[in-house]
Amino acid sequence: MRGSNPEIEALSYEYLSENSDVILIGTVKEILPGKWNTVDGKRPHDSIDDFEWYDMIYTDIVITADEYLKNPLPEDEVIVRVFTGTVGNDVSTADYEASFQKGEKVFLYLIEDEWEYTRNLGPDHYFTLGSIQGKLTLTDDGNAMGVHGNISQNELVEMI
């Protein structure tokens, strides 16, 4: 098992709004199987001793876009990539990454993947800006729950 927990800089909602490529409200449709960031999606080396810092497992999350709030895309679905997952007996965790549950309503601050080790793997996809900070879970009472606590969905929309 590989894990990491670097300290990440706290980002304000204003910063997230200004620096996101896309902001949307959506629903988690599907969590795809994890893959290694290799061309074939398989383990890059037999021994963990041969791994490089950039050898990672990722998982793509399919989000149904219910409403685009910034830079609408022509697609009804968006892929969000996180650097966690399981491939066979290999498990990768990262406390700083957003986690998703099928059926979950989410408010997402997204940026395009420009990282050389993943940008050309699989379909077009995005990362959450600020990792876990760029994903909030929406509640039935109009609030959004994130790593920084609760805030009203209306307040988030007003900051865009």
Structure confidence by residue, pLDDT tens digits, 96-141: 899 999 999 999 999 999 988 888 888 899 999 999 999 999 999 9
**pTM > 0.95: yes or no:** no
Residue 23 is encoded by which pair of tokens? 């902001």
Determine the structural domain holding residue 47 and report its residue range.
Answer: 2-158
- 6 pLDDT exceeds 80? no
Torsion on CA atoms 46, 49, 54, 56, rounded to nearest 10:
50
Question: 79: alpha, beta or left, given left = phi > 0 and alpha = psi -120 to 50?
Answer: beta
Is the pLDDT confidence value at 59 over 50? yes
Give the separation between CA 15 and CA 21, rounded to whole angstroms: 12
Domain containing 145 — which CATH number?
A: 2.40.50
Contact 36, 120 (CB under 8 A): no
Instruction: Please list, in sequence order, all residues whose beta carbon lies within 8 angstroms of the beta carbon of residue 22, skipping any fewer than 6 positions away.
Output: 68, 70, 71, 72, 73, 78, 108, 110, 126
- Tally of domains in the chain: 1
Confidence of residue 7 (pLDDT cuts 50, 70, 90): low
